[in-house]
A and B are shown apart, each in its own frame.
Chain A
Amino acid sequence: MNKIKLIIADDHELFRKGLAELLRKHDDIKIVKSVADGIEFMQLINSPFEADIVLLDITMPNMDGFQVLKELKTLNSDIKPIVISMHNDGNYIAKCAKMGAYGYLLKNTDEAELILAIRSVNNGKKYFSAEISEKMINFMSTQSISENILSNKETEVLGLISKGLTTKEIAAKLFVSSRTIETHRANILKKLEVKNTAELIKKATKMNLV
Chain B
Amino acid sequence: MHIKTLILIIINSLIALVIALLSFSSYQQFSNVLNNRILLQLNSIKTLKQNQIEHVLKSEWERFETSEVYSQNIDTTVLKLPDSIKNKSGIYDLTAYHVDKKTTIGFISNSKRGTMIKVFDYNKIKQILLERTGMGDSGESYLVGTDFRMRSQSRFYPNKTPYSILVKTKGVTNALKGINSKSIFKDYRGVDVYSVNSLIAVKNLKMVILSEIDVNEVTLPLKELKERLLGLTLAIFLLAVMLSLFLTRIISNPIKNMQKSLRIMAEGDYNQTNEFIKNSKEIKEMFDALANLKASLQGAVKFSDDIGKMNLHTNFKPKSSNDQLGKSLLAMRDKLIEFRNNEENTRILSKRMLVNGMEDERRRLSRELHDGVGPYLTSLKHYIENRVKNELKKAEMKKIVDDTISEIRLMSNALMPASIDDFGIGVTLTNFIESLKKSTTVTIEYEDLTQQENSNITNHQAINLFRISQELINNSLKHADAKNIRITLSEFDEFISLFYFDDGIGFDINTVKLGLGIINIKERVEICNGTITIHATPGNTTFEIELPIEL
A contact residues vs B (CB 8 Å cutoff): 10, 12, 14-15, 17-19, 21-22, 25, 59, 66, 86-92, 95, 107-108, 110-111, 138-139, 142-143, 145, 151, 153, 174-177, 179-180, 183-184, 187
Contacts and interface: CB of A to CB of B under 8 A. Distances in A.
A177 B497 CA distance: 8
A119 B402 CA distance: 24
Nearest to B409: A88
B379 interface: yes
5 contacts: A92-B422, A142-B434, A143-B448, A153-B447, A180-B499
A18 B383 contact: yes
B386 interface: yes
B376 interface: yes
A108 to B, nearest CB: 5
A22 B382 contact: yes
For chain B, give the interface size range.
Answer: 35 or more
Contact of B370 (A86, A110, A151): A86
B419 A89 contact: yes
Contact of B423 (A10, A18, A91, A184): A91
Interface in B88-139: none
A86 B408 CA distance: 10
Going nearest first, the 6 A-B pairs with the smallest beta carbon separation are: A18-B382, A175-B486, A107-B378, A12-B375, A177-B544, A14-B379
A183 B445 CA distance: 22
B246 to A, nearest CB: 75
A21 B434 contact: no
Contacts of B447: 153, 175
Contact of A108 (B371, B401, B488): B401
B468 to A, nearest CB: 14
B254 interface: no
Contact of A21 (B386, B417, B497, B501): B386
Name, among B371, B377, B434, B486, the residue most crowded by chain A CB atoms within 10 Å (CB to CB): B371
A173 to B, nearest CB: 11
Interface in B407-428: 409, 417-419, 422-423, 427
B546 interface: yes
Nearest to B427: A91
B430 A59 contact: no
Interface in B425-445: 427, 430-431, 434, 445
B402 A176 contact: no
Nearest to B367: A59
A174 B418 contact: no
A184 B374 CA distance: 43
B280 interface: no
Contacts of A92: 419, 422-423
A128 B370 CA distance: 22
B452 A91 contact: no
A113 B123 CA distance: 192
Contacts of B434: 90, 138-139, 142
A159 to B, nearest CB: 16
Contact of A177 (B383, B385, B401, B546): B546
A26 to B, nearest CB: 12
B497 A59 contact: no
B375 A91 contact: no
A183 B375 contact: no
A142 B430 contact: yes
Contacts of A151: 449
